[in-house]
C-alpha cells in the first residue's frame, strides 16, 4: 500500500490566489467570507475513432496509466488493418502520440508505434492477426503543451465479416425514426411489445414497451447536443451500441424540459437475408433539475421524469433536503427559499461536451441539523483539480457560508466501472473525527486527515466476511479465521470510532449478515452441520440468526427446531431467511421465513413520492408534508473553498479475488465468484460474462449452431477415468487445468457456449452419477457415458430433467 500527501507548489498557489480574487465578486446571490473559486474548466483533448463516416468511441483522457483489464468500456473496429483516429485538441497543442496494443489481460505488448506532431486525423496500422485472440487493448498516449502524457483506452477487434456498417446504419435509422415518430422507419415492427414493458413511464423504455413510448409519446423531442456513439460489444453475430445525448422535450410547468438520455441497442445483420434485426433495446432518461424554471409547487420539489430511486437526505426539522438527480447534487432550504447546486460536472450552457461524460456517481454521506451536507463523488473526474483521475472525492457543504470544501481525494488506477464497484462497498467520512474509511480489494483503510495518518484496519476480507449498514456508518467483519471458521465478529461505528465484539461458542462460526438500524444481524454455524445441498454444493448452514444491539444485548434470536438457514436478505426492517431441512448430510430447500423489526422509523416532513400526468407519465416529487408557499427559489452556486494543503491519497491495490464480471446494457452490472451465477445473469440481460483477465466466459448467440469437441480425446478420457474412480468433478477438472468452474444452476442451452469453446462439461445426474457433455446440435446435446465411453444425445430439456436430481450441477 502506498499513501501520499500532495502539497500545491507556491507558484501555483499564487496563480490560484489571483484567479480567486478575480472571481470573488461573482458569488451568486450571497457572498462567501472565505477565499473561493469556481471548478476549473475541462482541459484535456479527446480522441475519437472514425469509421465509415461515423464518429465513435469518444475517449476521455486519464491523468495516469491505468490498469489495462479494468478499462473495459468501448471496442473499436479495425478496418483493413487500420484504426482511424480524430484528435480533438480543443485549446491544446498536441506534440506527440505514442500507442501500444496490449493483450486483454495487459500482460503482453503486441504492437506499438509513434507519431510526431500528429495532425487532426491519424491512422494507426494494427494487423488483426497480431492480436492474441479476438481482441486487444489499444492505449494511446498524447503529449501536449501542458502535460507530458495523457492516456486513452479502447479495445480493438477486426471488423472483417462483422457487418458493422450495416448495423450502425440500422441503429441510426431506428434512433432518428423514433425521435421523429417516422412510421416508415420500421421502429414499431422491430419491437417485442408485451407485459414486460412498463408503459406508464418514459424514464425507462425497452424493446418490450409499446410504440407510443418508444417514439417519445407527445414529448416532441429535439436533440440539443452532439450525440456520443459508443460501441460496447462486437462479435461475429451482433454488435451493441450505446448513444448518449441531451434532449429537450415539451414540458408542463415549463414550455420545455432538458433531459440526459441514453439508448442501448443490440442488433444483428443477416447478410444472406439482406436484413438487420433488433435483438435488444433499452432507453433511460433523467430530467435535469433547473430551479431557474418552475420546479416547485404547493406540494414540494418537482424532479420530473427521473429514476424512482432518487437518493436524498433530510435535516432534523425537515426543512432542508439534499438530493441527487441526473448526476448532480442539489440542496433546497425551505426556510430561506434557496436552491444550491452543490456539485455538477456540467456547466450552465452545456457547451463543452467533455463535461457531459457520465462516469461518476454521487453519494450523500450525511445531512446535519442545519442542513450542512457531506458527500462523495466517485468515478472519473471530468474537470477540476482532479481532471482525468479516477477515484473518490469527499466534500463538505457549509450551508451558512454557501461553500463547498474538498476534504480528501482517494485516487486509484482502475477504470470507472471497477472503481465504482470497489468504492461502493465502503466509503464513509466521519466529520466529527475528520477520518475517512474506504475499502479496496478486501482491505479496509482508515485515514485521519488532520494528522495525515493512515492505517489498515483489516485486510484479506472476502465476500461473506463483512457487512455494511445502509448508511455506511456501521461495518461488521470476521476478526479471526475465514468465512467458515471465524469465532469473533467485530462491529465498528465509523462515525465515533467505537467498537464492540460478538463471539460464538466452541466448534462454532459466526458470520456478519447485515444491519437493521444500529443493530447487528449475524448467523452462527456449527462445524458438525457441514453438508451439501441437493446440487452437491458444500455448505455450512446457520442454525441460528440473532439481532444484537451495541449494548451487547440480543434483541431477537431465531433458532427453529429441525430447520437451518442458508442465506438471508435484509430490506428495511424485514429479514428474509432462506431455509433448508436436513436429511443425513443433505440440505433440502424449504419455504422461507421472515423476521420483522418493529422499531418505528423516524418520520420526516419530506418524502419521495411518484405522481403521473398524461404528457410525461410517471414523475417523482420530494413532497413537503406542510407544503411550499414560495414557488420561485433563489438559486445559489456555492464556491469551492481554496485551502493550502490538498490531501490526496493513492495506494497500490491488492490482488483482486478471482471473479467473473457481467456486462449488460453497456455497463458492468455485477461480479460473481461462481461461473454459473455469472452466466445466468448474463443470459438474463443478453450480455456477456468475462473472467478477470478479460477472457470470454459466455456471450449471447456468438456460437456455432452445431458443434462437437475434436482433438481432445485424451482430455475426455481423463475425465472418464476420474469419474469411474469416483473422484469429485471439481478435483478432476483441477487436475486437468489447474482450476474448475462451478456452472451449477445453468440450463443446458446456456452451457452450449462453453462447449463451443472446446471445453467438456461434467453434468451430474445425481450425487454419484455423471455424464460428459462434448457437443450439440440445433436441438440436442451430445454426451459421453463414463462407464462405456459411448455417445448419446438428449434434447436440451431432457438434459435439464436428467440433471434435476443433482440440482442441475455442472462443472467445467
Would the pLDDT of 122 be above 80?
yes
Q: What does the pLDDT read at residue 34? A: 42
* Strand partners for 698: 689
Q: How far, in Å, CA of 747 to CA of 397, rounded?
A: 51
The string of DSSP codes covering 183-240 is TTS-HHHH---STTS-TTBSSEEETTS-HHHHTTTT---EE-S--EEEEEEE-SS-EE
> What's the pLDDT at 492?
94
Q: Give me the pLDDT at residue 619, please.
A: 97
DSSP state of 369: T
User: Is the confidence at residue 760, as pLDDT, over 80?
Assistant: yes
**Which has more confidence, 377 or 28?**
377
**Cβ-based neighbours of 713, under 8 Å, separated by 6 or more:** none
What does the alpha-carbon distance between residue 204 and residue 721 come to, in Å, rounded to a whole number? Answer: 53
- 30 or 553, greater pLDDT: 553
Name which of 682, 811, 684 is nearest 743 in CA terms: 811
- Please tell me the predicted confidence (pLDDT) of residue 747: 94
Interval 730-749: pLDDT, tens: 888 888 877 888 898 899 99
pLDDT at 801: 92
pLDDT of 27 strictly over 80:
no
pLDDT digits (tens, 9 = 90+) for 63-72: 999 999 999 9
Is residue 439 scored above 90 in pLDDT? no
Q: What is the mean pLDDT of the chain?
A: 88
Per residue in 621-667, pLDDT tens? 999 999 998 888 999 888 877 655 567 777 555 555 678 999 999 99
Mean pLDDT (whole number) for 316-340: 94
Name the band, by pLDDT with cuts 50, 70 and 90, for residue 24: very low
Letter string b/e over residues 275-294, b meaning 16 or more CB atoms within 10 A of that residue's CB: ebebbbbbbbbbbbbbbeeb
Distance CA 72, CA 102 (A): 13
Q: Are strands 360-367 and 338-343 parallel, antiparallel or unpaired?
A: unpaired
Q: Which of 601, 578, 582, 602 is nearest to 591 (CA)?
A: 578
Calculate the CA 724 to chain-centre distance. 44
Asked if 392 and 409 count as a contact pair (C-beta separation under 8 A), the reply is: yes
Residue 150 reports pLDDT greater than 90 = yes
pLDDT for res 7: 32
**Contact criterion met (CB below 8 Å) for 771 and 785:** yes
The highest-level CATH class for domain 164-287 is alpha beta
Give pLDDT, residue 20: 34
**Residue 594 burial (CB < 10 Å; 0-12/13-18/19+)?**
exposed
DSSP 68: G
- Tell me which of 641 and 712 has the higher pLDDT: 712
Phi/psi-derived region of residue 131, left when phi > 0, alpha when psi is between -120 and 50, beta in every other case: beta
Nearest to 113 by CA among 146, 151, 140, 149: 140
Lowest mean pLDDT among 53-67, 336-350, 446-460, 630-644: 630-644
Predicted confidence band of residue 17 (pLDDT cuts 50, 70, 90): very low
- pLDDT at position 13 over 50: no
**Which residues have CB under 8 Å from 19's CB, separation 6+?**
37
Q: Which residues of 653-667 are buried (b: 16+ CB within 10 A; e: fewer)?
A: beebeebbbbbbbbb
Q: Which CATH class is domain 707-811?
A: alpha beta
Strands (E), 584-625: 586-589, 593-596, 606-613, 617-624
* Mean pLDDT on 523-543: 82
Q: Percent of the chain having pLDDT more than 70?
A: 92
Chain CA centroid to CA 202, Å: 23
User: Beta strand pairing status for 328-333 and 320-325?
Assistant: antiparallel
Q: Give the predicted TM-score (pTM) of the model.
A: 0.89
Contact predicate 475/468, CB 8 Å: yes
Q: How far apart are CA 392 and CA 379, in angstroms?
A: 6
Tens of pLDDT along 241-284?
A: 999 999 999 999 999 999 999 999 999 999 989 999 999 999 99
The correct CATH number of 470-516+518-598 out of 2.30.30, 2.115.10, 3.30.160, 2.40.128 is 2.40.128
Average pLDDT rounded to a whole number, residues 188-200: 95
Q: Which CATH class is domain 46-73+80-158?
A: mainly beta
pLDDT-derived band at 348 (thresholds 50, 70, 90) equals low
**Kind of pairing, strands 634-636 and 617-624?**
unpaired
234-250: b (≥16 Cβ within 10 Å) or e: bbebbbbbbbbbbbbbb
- For the chain, domain boundaries: 46-73+80-158, 164-287, 291-462+603-657, 470-516+518-598, 660-693, 707-811
Confidence at residue 654, expressed as pLDDT on a 0 to 100 scale? 54
Report, as an integer, the average pLDDT of 369-377: 94
Query: Tens digit of pLDDT for each residue in 490-519?
Result: 999 999 999 999 999 999 999 999 999 889
Q: Which residues contact 475 (CB under 8 A, 6 or more apart)?
A: 426, 437, 444, 466, 467, 468, 469, 491, 492, 494
DSSP 413: S
Rounded-to-integer distance, Cα 163 and Cα 169, Å? 10
Q: What's residue 350's pLDDT? A: 63
Would you state the pLDDT for residue 689?
95
- Once rounded to an integer, what is the mean pLDDT over residues 35-48? 80
pLDDT of residue 643: 56
Mean pLDDT, residues 542-567 taken together:
90
Amino acid at each position: 500500500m502506498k499513501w501520499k500527501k500532495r502539497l500545491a507548489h507556491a507558484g501555483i498557489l499564487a496563480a490560484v490566489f489571483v484567479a480567486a480574487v478575480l472571481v470573488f465578486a461573482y458569488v451568486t446571490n450571497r457572498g462567501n467570507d472565505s477565499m473561493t473559486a469556481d471548478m476549473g474548466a475541462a482541459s484535456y483533448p479527446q480522441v475519437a475513432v472514425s469509421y465509415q463516416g461515423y464518429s465513435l468511441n469518444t475517449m476521455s483522457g486519464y491523468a495516469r496509466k491505468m490498469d489495462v483489464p479494468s478499462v473495459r468500456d468501448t471496442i473499436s473496429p479495425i478496418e483493413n488493418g487500420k484504426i482511424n483516429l480524430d484528435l480533438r485538441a480543443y485549446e491544446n497543442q498536441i506534440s506527440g502520440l505514442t500507442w501500444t496494443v496490449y493483450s486483454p489481460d495487459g500482460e503482453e505488448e503486441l504492437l506499438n508505434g509513434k507519431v510526431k506532431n500528429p495532425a487532426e486525423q491519424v491512422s494507426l496500422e494494427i494487423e488483426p492477426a497480431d492480436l492474441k485472440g479476438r481482441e486487444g487493448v489499444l492505449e494511446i498516449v498524447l503529449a501536449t503543451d501542458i502535460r507530458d502524457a495523457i492516456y486513452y483506452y479502447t479495445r480493438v477487434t477486426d471488423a472483417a465479416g462483422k457487418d458493422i456498417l450495416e448495423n450502425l446504419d440500422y441503429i441510426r435509422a431506428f434512433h432518428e425514426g423514433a425521435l421523429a415518430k417516422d412510421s416508415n422507419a420500421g421502429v414499431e415492427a422491430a419491437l417485442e411489445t408485451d407485459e414486460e414493458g412498463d408503459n406508464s413511464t418514459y424514464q425507462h423504455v425497452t424493446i418490450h414497451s409499446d410504440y407510443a413510448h418508444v417514439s417519445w409519446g407527445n414529448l416532441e423531442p429535439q436533440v440539443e447536443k452532439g450525440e456520443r456513439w459508443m460501441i460496447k460489444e462486437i462479435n461475429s453475430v451482433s454488435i451493441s451500441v450505446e448513444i448518449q445525448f441531451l434532449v429537450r422535450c415539451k414540458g408542463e410547468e415549463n414550455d420545455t424540459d432538458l433531459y440526459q438520455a441514453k439508448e442501448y441497442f443490440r442488433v444483428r445483420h443477416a447478410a444472406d437475408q439482406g436484413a438487420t434485426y433488433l435483438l435488444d433495446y433499452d432507453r433511460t432518461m433523467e430530467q435535469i433539475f433547473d430551479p431557474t424554471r418552475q420546479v416547485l409547487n404547493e406540494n414540494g420539489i418537482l424532479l420530473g421524469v427521473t429514476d424512482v430511486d432518487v437518493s436524498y437526505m433530510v435535516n432534523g426539522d425537515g426543512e432542508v433536503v439534499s438530493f441527487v438527480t441526473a448526476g448532480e447534487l442539489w440542496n433546497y432550504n425551505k426556510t430561506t427559499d434557496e436552491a444550491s447546486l452543490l456539485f455538477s460536472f456540467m456547466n450552465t450552457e452545456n457547451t463543452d461536451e467533455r463535461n457531459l461524460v457520465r462516469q461518476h456517481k454521487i453519494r450523500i454521506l450525511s445531512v446535519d441539523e442545519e442542513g450542512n451536507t457531506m458527500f462523495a463523488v466517485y468515478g472519473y473526474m471530468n474537470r477540476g483539480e482532479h481532471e482525468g483521475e479516477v477515484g473518490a472525492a469527499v466534500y463538505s457543504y457549509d450551508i451558512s457560508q454557501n461553500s463547498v470544501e474538498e476534504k480528501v481525494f482517494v485516487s486509484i488506477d482502475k477504470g470507472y466501472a471497477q472503481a465504482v464497484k470497489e468504492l461502493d462497498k465502503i466509503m464513509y467520512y466521519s466529520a466529527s473525527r475528520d477520518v475517512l474509511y474506504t475499502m479496496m480489494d478486501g482491505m479496509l483503510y482508515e485515514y485521519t486527515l488532520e494528522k495525515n495518518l493512515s492505517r489498515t484496519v483489516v485486510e484479506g476480507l472476502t465476500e461473506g466476511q463483512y457487512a455494511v449498514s445502509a448508511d455506511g456508518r456501521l461495518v461488521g467483519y470476521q476478526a479471526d479465521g475465514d468465512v467458515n471458521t471465524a469465532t469473533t465478529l467485530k462491529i465498528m461505528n465509523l462515525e465515533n470510532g467505537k467498537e464492540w465484539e460478538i463471539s460464538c461458542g466452541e466448534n462454532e462460526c459466526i458470520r456478519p449478515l447485515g444491519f437493521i438500524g444500529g443493530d447487528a444481524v449475524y448467523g452462527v454455524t456449527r462445524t458438525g452441520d457441514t453438508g451439501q445441498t441437493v446440487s452437491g454444493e458444500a455448505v455450512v448452514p446457520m442454525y441460528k440468526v440473532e439481532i444484537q444491539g451495541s449494548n451487547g444485548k440480543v434483541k431477537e434470536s431465531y433458532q427453529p427446531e429441525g430447520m437451518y438457514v442458508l442465506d438471508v436478505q435484509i430490506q428495511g426492517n424485514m429479514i428474509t431467511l432462506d431455509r433448508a431441512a436436513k436429511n443425513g448430510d443433505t440440505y433440502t430447500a424449504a419455504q422461507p421465513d421472515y423476521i420483522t423489526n418493529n422499531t418505528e422509523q423516524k418520520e420526516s416532513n419530506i418524502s419521495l413520492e411518484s405522481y403521473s400526468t398524461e404528457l410525461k407519465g410517471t414523475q417523482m416529487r420530494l413532497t413537503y408534508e406542510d407544503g411550499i408557499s414560495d414557488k420561485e427559489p433563489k438559486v445559489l452556486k456555492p464556491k469551492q473553498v481554496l485551502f493550502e494543503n490538498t490531501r490526496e491519497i493513492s495506494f497500490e491495490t491488492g490482488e483482486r479475488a478471482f471473479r467473473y464480471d457481467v456486462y449488460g446494457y453497456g455497463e458492468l452490472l455485477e461480479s460473481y465468484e461462481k461461473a454459473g451465477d455469472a452466466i445466468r445473469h448474463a443470459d438474463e440481460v443478453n450480455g456477456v460474462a468475462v473472467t478477470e483477465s478479460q477472457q470470454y466466459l459466455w456471450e449471447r448467440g456468438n456460437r456455432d449452431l452445431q458443434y462437437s469437441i475434436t482433438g481432445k480425446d485424451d482430455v475426455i478420457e481423463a475425465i472418464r477415468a476420474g469419474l469411474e474412480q469416483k473422484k469429485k468433478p471439481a478435483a478432476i477438472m483441477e487436475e486437468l487445468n489447474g482450476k474448475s468452474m462451478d456452472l451449477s444452476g445453468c440450463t443446458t442451452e446456456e452451457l452450449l457456449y462453453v462447449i463451443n469453446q472446446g471445453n467438456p462439461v461434467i453434468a451430474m445426474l445425481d450425487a454419484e452419477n455423471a455424464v460428459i457433455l462434448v457437443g450439440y446440435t440445433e436441438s440436442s446435446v451430445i454426451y459421453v457415458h463414463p462407464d462405456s465411453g459411448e455417445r448419446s444425445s438428449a434434447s436440451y430439456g431432457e438434459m435439464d430433467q436428467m440433471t434435476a436430481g443433482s440440482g442441475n450441477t455442472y462443472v467445467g
